[in-house]
């Protein structure tokens, strides 16, 4: 493919020239890209196309290509030829020949890590990375084939999926509507079936919300299931809540990816003294034999629109999911939880990026700018930060005790993955902000408890827009068992 053609195909701030690194026989493949910055004047001369979607921000005039708008850098299109591994070396590989897209806050050897912001790219990744993040390395060891990196919201601090600098990835299942963020490009790549599997990160819904809006499956894994896998080679947002996750078009692929990551830990242990693991690294698809029951958290349902609640209820009935309805005691209002979650998150953000922001004064888009440049004031109020952290610990215990521990059986908690169907591009800000706060409040349940959450797509009864159902696992590190249980239900 010529460089001129690649400029038209890939929605990227880079001019791409390709080379391929051949793997050894026991591992997967990365198709690498050598990148050269394209000056703004050159980009302005590009011919506009009448396909794809525009960013909702007026200052972003670039239009997005229909096929590959989700990629920052990519080797070839979705029909990329995949490495064929020998039968001997690939017998036990869980991701043999699986094509994978990686969110642009995760290091991939031979590619830059831009994190959705040009200033961050220039300051922190002037050259291509020389090592893979441990998470990526484990996916490759299981036969995965990385074909590129995907667009994201700036430094992962947004749920919209609309990037001021690079535009908006296409929502294939809901054209003309936002894909959700911050893992927007990863969800888009899966929804367009450009890849089999995509990797994202989730702090306050950044995997779960795009999955819900784009109508795909996802898992937010157990927080801190392993320190290196969750954080090394991954640009942080808020370490208290950051965790990797996956997108796919079915539960089986999510299970394969989750097993591939956890296979490195025979006992699947970490330094936590919380509940024991229910994960397994076995290569079969046996379902756990324990009785598992479902509960629907009424406090969470109250935050969703009538359209979302109706879609989820129809889906549960259609699939024969019987559940008990539970409501939190102690006059808890989940909508109010978001305030303290936000304080702790913002304190983490400033500790991670404050020095850079003070020194470099980077440019962010609307909304993201206000959050980053207001973070210092929040972080400086140390008494309020400690109060918020303590409240968050107490609320996590309330969820664990009232939803999970009080029941003799293992329990899966059903919640809306987002408060609504995907909003339209350029939707009225007041409408979006109200739904954003409710969605963030829903996302805080898994965030506070650190429990894994799987999102399964359903559709609106009104207009068939995608809406996600969240299934929260009963304890830390039950990721595999949770996916197996949902597979048994044929969801």
Q: Is the pLDDT of residue 157 over 50?
A: yes
Closest CA to 266 of 282, 289, 252, 284: 282
Cβ burial, residue 43 (10 Å; 0-12/13-18/19+): middle
Place of tokens 């209820």: 313
pLDDT of residue 331: 76
With a CB cutoff of 8 Å and minimum separation 6, the contacts of 114 are: 13, 72, 104, 120, 121, 125
Cα–Cα distance, 384 to 346 (Å, whole number): 12
pLDDT of residue 150: 97
Within 10 angstroms of residue 285's Cβ, the number of other Cβ atoms is: 13
* Residue 283 token pair: 């290569």
Q: Is the pLDDT of residue 256 over 50?
A: yes
Cα–Cα distance, 327 to 467 (Å, whole number): 23
Q: Kindly state the DSSP code that residue 219 receives in the 8-state scheme.
A: E
pTM of the full predicted structure?
0.84
With a CB cutoff of 8 Å and minimum separation 6, the contacts of 386 are: none
Compute φ and ψ for 383, nearest 5 degrees: -65, -45
Positive or negative torsion for Cα 436, 440, 443, 445: negative
* Residue 325 token pair: 């309805």
pLDDT in tens, 362-411: 999 999 999 999 999 999 999 999 999 999 999 999 999 999 988 878 99
Q: What are the distances in angstroms from CA 111 to CA 22, 28, 89, 168, 489? A: 15, 16, 27, 21, 40
pLDDT of residue 424: 95
Q: Could you list the residue range(s) of the whole structural domain that residue 220 is in?
A: 3-488
Compute φ and ψ for 261, nearest 5 degrees: -75, -40
Within 10 angstroms of residue 7's Cβ, the number of other Cβ atoms is: 17
Within 10 angstroms of residue 386's Cβ, the number of other Cβ atoms is: 13
SS3 category, 297: strand
CATH code for the domain in which residue 465 is found: 3.90.1300.10
SS3 category, 35: strand
The number of distinct structural domains making up the chain is 1
What's the full length of the chain, in residues? 491
* Residue 476 token pair: 């830390």
Minimum mean pLDDT among 82-86, 228-232, 275-279, 454-458: which range?
Answer: 82-86
| Omega of the bond leading into 77 within 30 degrees of 0 (cis) | no
Assign 3-state DSSP to the chain and report helix, strand, coil percentages, each to 5: 35, 15, 45
Q: Is the pLDDT of residue 147 over 80?
A: yes
pLDDT of residue 297: 97
Q: At what angle do helices 334-360 and 382-399 cross, to 10 degrees?
A: 140
* Residue 62 token pair: 């670039």
Mean pLDDT of 191-218: 98
Highest mean pLDDT among 324-333, 341-350, 419-428: 341-350
pLDDT of residue 73: 66
Positive or negative torsion for Cα 475, 481, 482, 488: negative
SS3 category, 66: coil
Cα–Cα distance, 10 to 68 (Å, whole number): 6
H or E segment and range at residue 73: strand 71-74
């Amino acid at each position: 493919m010529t460089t001129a053609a690649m400029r038209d195909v890939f929605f990227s701030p880079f001019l791409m020239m390709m080379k391929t690194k051949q793997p050894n026989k026991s591992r997967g493949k990365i198709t690498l890209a050598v990148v050269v910055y394209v000056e703004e004047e050159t980009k302005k001369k590009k011919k506009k196309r009448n396909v794809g979607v525009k960013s909702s921000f007026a200052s972003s005039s670039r239009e997005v290509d229909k096929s590959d708008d989700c990629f920052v850098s990519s080797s070839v299109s979705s029909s990329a030829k995949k490495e064929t591994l020998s039968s001997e070396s690939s017998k036990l590989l869980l991701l043999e020949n699986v094509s994978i897209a990686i969110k642009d806050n995760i290091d991939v050897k031979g590619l830059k890590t831009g994190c959705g912001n040009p200033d961050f790219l220039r300051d922190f990744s002037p050259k291509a990375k020389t090592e893979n993040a441990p998470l990526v390395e484990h996916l490759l060891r299981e036969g995965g084939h990385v074909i590129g990196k995907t667009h994201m919201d700036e430094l992962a601090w947004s749920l919209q999926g609309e990037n001021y600098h690079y535009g908006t990835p296409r929502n294939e299942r809901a054209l003309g509507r936002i894909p959700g963020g911050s893992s927007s490009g990863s969800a888009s790549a899966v929804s367009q079936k450009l890849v089999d599997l995509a990797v994202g990160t989730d702090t306050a819904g950044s995997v779960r919300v795009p999955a819900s809006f784009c109508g795909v499956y996802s898992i937010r894994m157990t927080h801190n299931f392993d320190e290196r896998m969750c954080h090394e080679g991954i640009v942080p947002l808020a370490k208290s809540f950051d965790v990797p996750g996956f997108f796919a078009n079915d539960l089986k692929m999510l299970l394969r990816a989750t097993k591939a990551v956890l296979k490195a830990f025979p006992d699947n242990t970490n330094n936590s003294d919380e509940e024991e693991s229910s994960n397994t690294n076995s290569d079969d698809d046996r379902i756990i034999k324990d009785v598992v029951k479902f509960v629907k958290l009424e406090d969470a349902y109250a935050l969703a629109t009538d359209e979302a609640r109706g879609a989820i209820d129809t889906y549960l009935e259609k699939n024969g999911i019987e559940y008990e309805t539970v409501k939190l005691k102690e006059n808890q209002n989940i909508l109010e939880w978001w305030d303290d979650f936000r304080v702790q998150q913002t304190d983490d953000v400033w500790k991670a990026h404050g020095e850079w922001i003070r020194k470099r004064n980077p440019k962010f888009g609307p909304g993201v700018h206000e959050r980053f440049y207001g973070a210092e004031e929040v972080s400086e109020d140390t008494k309020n930060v400690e109060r918020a952290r303590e409240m968050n610990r107490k609320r996590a215990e309330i969820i664990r005790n009232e939803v999970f521990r009080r029941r003799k059986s293992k329990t899966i908690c059903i919640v809306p993955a987002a408060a609504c169907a995907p909003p339209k591009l350029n939707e009225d800000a007041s409408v979006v902000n109200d739904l954003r706060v409710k969605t963030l409040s829903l996302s805080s349940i898994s965030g506070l408890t650190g429990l894994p959450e799987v999102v399964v797509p359903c559709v609106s009864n009104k207009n068939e827009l995608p809406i996600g159902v969240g299934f929260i696992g009963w304890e830390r590190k039950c990721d595999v068992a949770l996916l197996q249980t949902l597979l048994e239900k044929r969801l």
